[in-house]
Amino acid sequence: MNNTTNNEEAATSLPQMDPGPGAGRQAVFINEDLTSSKAKLLWQARQAKRDSKINDCWSTNGNVLIKDKHNRVHHIKVLPDFESAY
């Protein structure tokens, strides 16, 4: 028997596993390493999003961004920026 036949037989004899519902559709989250003040701003933005005061919030490259109810994006540097954005 040649090597190709052995590999084909081995591959077909492995049991197939059912990946289950939702397989391949799981979200991946990557946490950014923020300074304590930026992390606090992002936390406050997430609270505002939960309270439906803003549409979205996220961080990128160490910056905190929010999307207001008019879908305008604001770069938040300090707490007064955040409070005046919505």
Q: 65 pLDDT exceeds 90? A: yes
Measure Cα distances from 18 to 15, 21, 42, 73 in Å: 10, 9, 39, 42
Cα–Cα distance for residue pair 2/68, rounded to 1 Å: 66
The domain limits of the chain are 32-86
List, for residues 14-38, the tens digit of each pLDDT value.
667 666 666 667 777 778 899 999 9
| Rounded CA Rg of the chain | 24
User: Read out DSSP for 34-48?
Assistant: --HHHHHHHHHHHHH
- The pLDDT-based confidence of 84 (bands split at 50, 70, 90) is confident
pTM of the model: 0.64
Q: How large is the average pLDDT for residues 44-66? A: 95
In angstroms, the first-to-last Cα distance of the chain is: 73
Q: For a pLDDT cut of 90, what percent of the chain falls above it?
A: 53
Q: Tell me 16's DSSP state.
A: P
What is the pLDDT at residue 82? 77
